[in-house]
Each structure stands twice: as C-alpha cells, then as structure tokens.
Structure 1
Amino acid sequence: MTFSRRQFLGSGLLAGGAIAFAGVLPANAREWDDYSAHFVRDLDSSLPNIPLRPDDEAGWKAVAKNYSVTSKITNLENAYWGIMARPVLDEYKRLTEFVNLENTHFARLKYSETYTGIRETVATFLNVGADEIALTRGATEALQALIGGYNKLKPGDTVLYADLDYGEMKTAMSWLKDRRGAKPVKVTFPEPTADEPLTEAKILAFYEKALSDNPGTKLLLLTHLNNLTGMIIPVARIAKMAKARGAAVILDAAHSVGQVHFDLKELGCDFVGVNLHKWVGAPIGCGVMYINKARVDDIDTYMLKSPGSNAITDRIDTGTLNFAAHMAIPAAIGFHKKIGTAAKQGRLRYLRDLWVEPARKLKGLTILTPDDSKMVGALTSFRLDGVVTTKANDALMKHLLDKFGILTVRRTGPDAGDCIRVTPSIYSSRNDVEKLVRALKTITESGHSW
C-alpha cells in the first residue's frame, strides 16, 4: 500500500477543517517514506527547479517563501535551531491536533507502531540500521546518555575532549571523574591568525599530539562541526587514529547532519548524537542517538534498567515525548531532501563567504574558521582584537542588534576568549549578509567604540 499525504490527512486527520480519526496512520518505514514523498510532491508547484546553484538569488528567494520569518530584525543566529518550513509547520499543527484529540487512545494503542515506522525512516535517511538508533529530544540528551553510559572505562583511564566542544558535553566528560573514576583532560585548539589559518593537516597534528601526550586515553569526544567557531574537523581520520591507540570515539554531530553532505557510517564513529531540529528542519525536540550495533553492550542500559538487553532504546529514557514533533520528522526529511543537503551546504557556504571575505580585510577583526570548503559550513565566528570577555562580547552583540538590527550570538568556550557567531539560513538573502559587512566596517573603523 502506498500512503500519500492527502490520503493520510483526507482519510483520517482532516475532515472539514476538523480532525476525525479513522485509525489510518502509516504503519511502517515504506508507508512513512511514501507519505514523505507525497508530502514533497504536493509542494512541487511552490518550489523552484532543484538543485539550485548557490548564487541563484531568484531560486533561493522562492525557497525562502516557504519560511515565515520576522521582519523586526535580520536574523543571522540560525544555529540555535532551524525554523520549520511552513508546510512542515502546518503538518506539525495538524499532528498536534490529532494527538490532542486521540490522546491516550493513540499513545497507548498506536504510537509504538508509529514510532517504529518513523525510526525506520530516520535510519534510512541517516544510512544506518533502525536497530542502531533511538529517537531523543535532541543531540544533548543523546550525547549525555552515551558519555554517561559508556561502561568500558576503568579508574585512571583518560577521557579527552577539547575547548571547542559543546559546553554540556565538556561537563559530561568532566563528570566521568565522579562517575567512573576517569581522568578528564581538556586540550586547547590552536588559534588561527590572518597569516596562519587552520588546516586539516594542523588539526590532525593537534589530535595526534593530544593522543601521544595522553597515552592512557580510552574515550575521545569529537565535534564534527563545532558550535563555537563553526569549524569542521576531519572526523574519519581522527577517529581512525584514536581507535588505533585503543580509544573509543563519541561524536557530536548536532550541527553537521543536514548542514553538511556526508555519510555517517563513513566517519567511523560507533557512538553519535544528532539533531534533527537544527538543519533538517524538524520541530524542536527531535534528535537521534546512534550506536553501532556491534558496540551496543558498551553503553549501559538507562539507570541499569533491563539488564542484559541489547536494544538501543533501553539506553535512554526520554519520558513522555512530544508525539506530534516526532511524527512530523518524515515531513521535515521530505522537505529537506527536496532541497538537498549538498545544495543547502553550497548556499550556506556561499552566504558565509559573502560576509567573511570582506570581513577578513577589516582591521582588528579575526575570522575563526578557515576558508577551506571541507572545513566550514554556515557557522562562522569572529573576534575583535582585545574583545575577549563575555561582558564585552555581549555588549557587541547588543550593539549589532540595537544599532544595525542584526541578531548574532556571543559564544563562550574557546580558551582564547569569547567571540561572536554568525549563522545565515537558507531563507537568508545576499542583502542580509552584506548588511552585516557594512555594520562590521562601521564598528572597526570607529575603533571598536559602542
């Protein structure tokens, strides 16, 4: 049975503007995939010819019409989460009405079957096994379960992480001292300069030295695309290096899935946390925990419940989920796939380069990511000379918003000091990032006075 969006909504969910459940829901991965495909097919008339060139302003303007965005500001802070495309939002609203109407009748009797189908659809999207993933409320929840649950550590083993890793993950790695008797070690990334940008070779050398200096390392945290500066690291080669030295690798892929075109399996990491509400465009509260099925026993069941279970779903307990949010994931995946990850990545990097290239020439301003296309996506941070404190960067962020109407965000975490992160979205325009360049030019020419 094929399962179209109209069939899903017309046969069961929508009747004269109200929801009248008829017991019709996609029951497995194929039906959810059919639903997702039909969902996108219904959108074809509102989307331009795909794939789009990065500089096709008319085409990307047509894509942007699928997003409802406030006109109060120019939003260049799109890394917190990604807003849903309007068709996905509409679907989420319908599903919320459905869940609200059917309540526990659906949750108790039908959701388990629904969850299985959604899980299989997500697994297909990520190119992993359905028995290797569990749906979560976000990457943070997934990674906390992976870090806290990793049971191969012995007292005195080193657990290694870096200053550019996500704050909550650094906290979780530090907690392993109390949890497992481990020895947490934080290493500091080299800072780029105008004359010496970071390269993949330098990043590989950095991790090789970190592992050599800490030969007792048994667990390494890597962040594919970090949230502080936006740099992408060569995960597959670092993971191979770490494994050869006897260290397991946990990967934070919160920002890379949907923003960067890659195959999760090819990264060679057995434990991964993913967000679907950032660059895939699912509702807030959608993430994934991945465990290579050959390594599932290396992660404790949640609070040691279900001892002996080899099910990944027993490695996390999210409580009562937002059912509608997770049921909207196939629609979000469908919309995302219609645009294409590679096309998204090209557009986002194009918008990033439009502001970074002129900003690099401004006196007293340092761009914290390289220009190598393999090492950057949408996110890029900058730092003004001498502006390193949280207070000073908060003031700069406020000045950009109050004076120029541009929303950015201060990031704390790099050992060299705070910075300002800039993140366009696929609804952003060339004018948006050029507006930022003018603002930065004014600020740097004024001697950083604000």
Structure 2
Amino acid sequence: MMTVSRRDAMLLAAGAAAAGSAQAALPTGIIAADDEAGWARIAALYPKMGPVTQLEHGYWGNMAAPVAEVHRATLDRLNRDTSIYARRAMQKDVQAARARAAQVMGVQPGEIGFCRNAAEALQALISQFRAVAEGDAILWSDNDYETTQGAMASLARSRRATPVKIDLPRAPTHENVIAAYAEAIRTTPKLKFVVLTHGTHRSGLVVPVAEIAALAKAAGAVVLVDCAQSFLQRPFVIPDFGADYVVLNFHKWTGAPVGIAGYWCRPGMAALIAPAASEGEAKPDNVQAKVHQGTVDYAPQLTLPAALDFQAAVLPIPMKLARLQYLRNRWVSQLRGLPGLEIMVGDDPRLFGAITSFRIAGHTSTAENIAITDTLFNRYNIMTVHRSGLAAGACVRVTPALFSTPAECDRLVAALQDLVPQIAKA
C-alpha cells in the first residue's frame, strides 16, 4: 500500500470537500487498470466534464481538486498581498518549488529553469544554441513539434548549417525508428545538434530516445529531448535519456495549472546556450537566464509542489501509464482492422501511452481532418483534435485522461464504425 503524508491527506480532504465528495473514499493504494470503482474514486477528485465525451486531453490536464484548491488560495494571496509578498517572501517559495521539481526530475535545482510552456523553452534552447557553425549539420524529424521544426529550420538558415529533416516510418516499430535515426546519423557529416521528441504529439508514438541519443552523442552531436507529452506519464527521470538538454511541461500529465514548464541543462552544457538577449553575458552558466521571465503569473509555479505531491501520493506513474494504455487499447483493439481506418501506432507498449491517432483512407489534408473532428463533435458529441505535419498526411488525435471511462472509449468506437465507411467511400 502507498502511504500518504499528513499534508497530502489534508489537501486531499480539502479537495474532496471542495468537489462536493466529502464522503468519497480517497484512493491510497495501487488501482488496477480495469478497476472501474477505483478509478471512479480518482474521477471524483476532478471536475465533471459535462455532456461532451472529452477525448482530447493532450493539450493541458485538469487540476485535481486538492491542487485547484491550492491554486485558488495562491491566486488570492497574490491578488491580496501583491508586492509585499512578491518582494519579501515569494522568491523563497519559488525556489522551494524549483527544488521540488528538480527532485522529481532527478536532477539538481541549479540545473533547471522555469518557463511558461515547453515551446518557449524549445525556442530558446534551439535558437540560442551556440555550437553550430557554417557547414555543420542539424537533425530533426517530421514528428517533432511544429515550432521546434520551425526553430531548427531558422537555426540552419541563420548559421548556414545543413538542415536534415527525416520522416519517421509510417508503421513505426522500436527497431525501425532507431534504424531511421541511425541511418541519418551515420550518413550526415559534421552533425552537431539533434532534437528528439520522446512522446510525439501527432501520432502518439513514443520514440526510444535513450538509444538514439547514445548514437548521436557517439557521433559528436549535442542532443536536446522534448518530453512535454511524456513527463510523469511514463516512468523515467531526466538523466535516463543521456541527453544534454531536456524540456518538459507541468501542465499536461503533472496536473499543474497552465503556465508552468521546465527545462534542464546538463552540468557544463549551459554555456553553449546563449542567455536571453535581456540577460546579457554576465552569467553564461545560469540556466534560468536562458529564458527571460519578466513579470509572469507566479501562481502556476507556486502551485507546482501541490501538483507534484498529489501525483506522488495518489497517482504513481506505473499505475497511471497502465490505466492510460488500457483506455487506449479499449478503442484501438476494437477498431484495428476496420476497412478504411489506419491506426497510426502499433501495439508494442514501449511505443504508446495515452495518445494514439488515426487516419481515414484518402483523407490526408488538414482541412479533411478538421472536418472529421467537427463531425465527431457535432454529430456524435465527441471531442478529438486534428494534427498535421506528418509526411504521410494529417490525422486525428485521441487522448483519454485518467478519469476517462471505457464507456467513453466505446462511444468513439461506435462513432467511427458508423462514420469511417461513409467517409472512406467518399
């Protein structure tokens, strides 16, 4: 059985009361992936979704009631005390939040920085990377985030470097994804910088980044890993990747408020990232100086420890992953093999978490996939989202949450069994 600290128990009790579930039994042990009564107790700690079947939880996550309670109290304090708190006590609390985040990440506080979202950190670490010169090469893939790809292309232009963008296999496996990167690394002279995305936001593919990072570093390249979609969904700590820089989000699977993300620089590597223009060159090893924050909404940073504490007390990562994969398999297993429907990730559990996307045959444009998501929403009352940018064309992303139910996944199954034959014939 898991233990819950007195502080966590108080937070949970307060959150349950705030959610109107004071009588609900609070989960304090491991819940099997298919234990619907156990997961209903988890669901009681989150807001009710309303009439829409919400299967697009990859944007940001809901705060659990105990975390939302802390967030509200923090907003109240910031609104009430303003500069009295900000200038005399708040920085101590921000540093405590940084230390708590570093502990969960498996690194030291001085090695990480806070920012508003992963895209902001990725832009800074890529565009300010100093160790690329004319004639060098940089590598990324079609599965990386849109703004990441844009930043890499911009870096290549500004430094007159050689841009190398690869398309990952349409039917990915653990082996052929590694092989695709291995071939690109082997055949690219003067490779200096590689970006890898751990959990991709388009298809849902989980890339074996540790193996690929080792190949890139053996070739002399510096490696940046984006784990915005995988942090606290899969069991790892940041050093596991063997990378030089790592970026993550806290507002997705950590359940913190929107507006807090983090990034890490391997000790000795921070100076290769130029400070933000406003920071000057006085502190090349200062990790936080890579992203100039200015005056931001501090409530997400100050709420982060409560989110991390809730996750540690109630939602151990292997249990979370098992539930998310169970829900994903619930809809995928019923639809795999449906004529006209392409499920974009296979069933190797190393390669998927919550997210898996689908594509309807002959419908690969962004407009067509927006139309599919609109039809699912307007006709079937199901929320999904289109994703574009893959070499094989656009797709529709499905992302259940921990409190999603098998019945909600079944609604998607019924909708697609009805819709795909109609669309595929068109």
TM-score band by shorter chain is over 0.9
Give deviations 1:408-448, integer Å, cap 9, x for gaps.
00001101100000000011001000110011111123353
Aligned match of 2:270 in 285, 288, 296?
A: 296
Counterpart of 1:238 in structure 2 is 212
How is 1:132-171 mapped onto 2 (pairs within 5 angstroms)?
132-171=111-150
Whole-angstrom CA distance in 1 between matches of 2:39 and 2:7 = 25
Matched ranges for 1:121-270 at <5 A: 121-192=100-171, 198-270=172-244
Structure 1 CA distance, aligned partners of 2:341 and 2:322?
25
CA distance in 1, matches of 2:81, 2:173: 54
- Give matches, 1:300-311, under 5 Å: 300-303=274-277, 305-311=280-286
Match in the other structure for 2:45: 66
Q: Which residue of 1 aligns with 2:296?
A: 321
**AA partner of residue 117 (structure 1):** A
Q: SS state of the match for residue 246, structure 2?
A: strand
| Deviation sequence 1:370-392 (CA, Å, 0-9, x none) | 21111100000000110101111
Q: Summarize deviations over 1:121-150 as a string: whole Å, max 9, x none.
A: 100011111111011111111111111121
Q: Tell me by how many angstroms 1:325 deviates.
A: 1.3
Whether 1:114 and 2:90 are equivalent positions in the alignment is no
Query: Any conservation in 1 of the 2:12–2:26 contact (CA below 8 Å)?
Result: no
Indicate the residue corresponding to 1:84 in structure 2.
63
1:93 aligns with 2:79: no
Question: Measured at CA, do residues 132 and 40 of structure 1 come closer, stay the same or move farther in structure 2, by a change above 3 Å?
Answer: farther
Residue range with higher mean Cα deviation, 288-297 or 304-313: 304-313
Matched, 1:52 2:28: no
Which residue of structure 1 lines up, in the alignment, with residue 355 of structure 2?
379
Deviation at 1:398, TM superposition (A): 0.5
**Match of residue 412, structure 1, among 378, 388, 410:** 388
Higher mean C-alpha deviation, range 272-281 or range 309-318: 309-318
Q: Per-residue displacement from partner, 1:156-206 (whole Å, max 9, x unpaired)?
A: 2111110010001001101102433322221111111xxxxx211111110
Name the CA distance, whole Å, in 2 between partners of 1:55 and 1:228. 27
Other structure's SS at 1:369 match: coil
**Partner residue of 2:11?**
39
What whole-Å deviation, never above 9, does each CA across 1:3-51 have from its counterpart, x for those lacking one?
xxxxxxxxxxxxxxxxxxxxxxxxxxxxxx9856763586797422421
Q: Is the 8 A contact 1:306 1:314 kept in 2?
A: no
Does the residue aligned with 2:424 lie in a helix, a strand or coil? coil
Q: Is the CA contact (8 Å cut-off) linking 1:443 and 1:449 kept in structure 2? A: no
**Partner Cα separation in structure 2 for residue 180 and residue 445 of structure 1:** 49
User: Which residue in the other structure is 1:424 paired with?
Assistant: 400
1: distance between equivalents of 2:332 and 2:215? 32
* Residue equivalent to 2:308: 333
Deviates more, 1:352-361 or 1:173-182: 173-182
Q: Displacement of 1:101 after TM fit?
A: 0.4
Rate the CA distance shift 1:37–1:317 in 2: closer, same or farther, 3 A. farther
The answer to whether the 8 Å contact 2:122/2:148 transfers is: yes
Equivalent position SS for 2:269 = helix
RMSD between superposed Cα atoms in Å: 1.8
Closer/same/farther in 2, CA of residues 35 and 311 from structure 1, 3 Å limit: farther
Q: Structure 2 counterpart of 1:142, which letter?
A: A
Deviation (angstroms), 1:307:
2.7
For the residues of structure 1 that align with 2:111 and 2:271, how far apart are their CA atoms? 12
SS where residue 202 of structure 2 aligns?
A: coil
Matches within 5 A, 1:271-286: 271-286=245-260
Question: Once structures 1 and 2 are overlaid, which stretch shifts more, 155-164 or 171-180?
Answer: 171-180
Give the residue type in structure 1 aligned to 2:289. Answer: D
Q: Please, which runs of 5 or more residues in structure 1 have no aligned partner?
A: 1-32, 193-197
Q: Please tell me the residue identity of whatever aligns with 1:384.
A: I
What SS does structure 2 have at the residue aligned with 1:151? coil
SS of 1:328's partner is helix
Change (3 A) 1:217 1:443: same
Query: Aligned to 1:218, what secondary structure does the other structure show?
Result: strand
In structure 1, the residue matched to 2:19 is: none
Q: Percent identity?
A: 34
Per mean C-alpha deviation after superposition, the further-off stretch among 308-317 and 70-79 is: 308-317
Alpha-carbon offset, residue 113 of structure 1: 1.3
The answer (yes or no) to whether the contact 1:159–1:173 under 8 Å persists in 2 is yes
Q: Work out which of the residue numbers 390, 393, 405 in structure 1 matches 2:369.
A: 393
Paired residues, what number?
413
Give the TM-score normalised by the residue count of structure 2.
Answer: 0.93
In structure 2, what is the Cα distance between the partners aligned to 1:115 and 1:293?
21
1:334–1:189 CA distance, 2 compared to 1 (3 A): same
Listed as ranges, the gaps of 5+ residues in structure 2 are 17-23
SS in 2 for 1:69: coil
Q: 2:11 corresponds to which letter in structure 1?
A: F
Asked if 1 retains the 8 angstrom alpha-carbon contact of 2:15 and 2:67, the reply is no
| C-alpha distance in structure 1 between counterparts of 2:25 and 2:248, whole Å | 29
2:385·2:396 contact (CA, 8 Å) conserved in 1? yes
Retained in 1: the 8 A contact 2:273–2:290? yes
- The one-letter amino acid paired with 1:190 is P
Task: Indicate the SS of the match to 1:448.
Answer: helix
Return structure 1 stretches of 4+ with deviation > 6 angstroms.
41-45
User: How much does 1:236 deviate?
Assistant: 0.7
Tell me the distance in 1 between the aligned counterparts of 2:13 and 2:183: 51
Report the alpha carbon displacement of residue 251 of structure 1 after superposing the two structures with TM. 0.6
Structure 1 residue 242 displacement after superposition: 0.2
SS class of match (1:281): coil
Structure 2 letter corresponding to 1:138: N
Return the letter of the residue paired with 2:214: K
Code of the residue aligned with 1:154 in structure 2: it is A
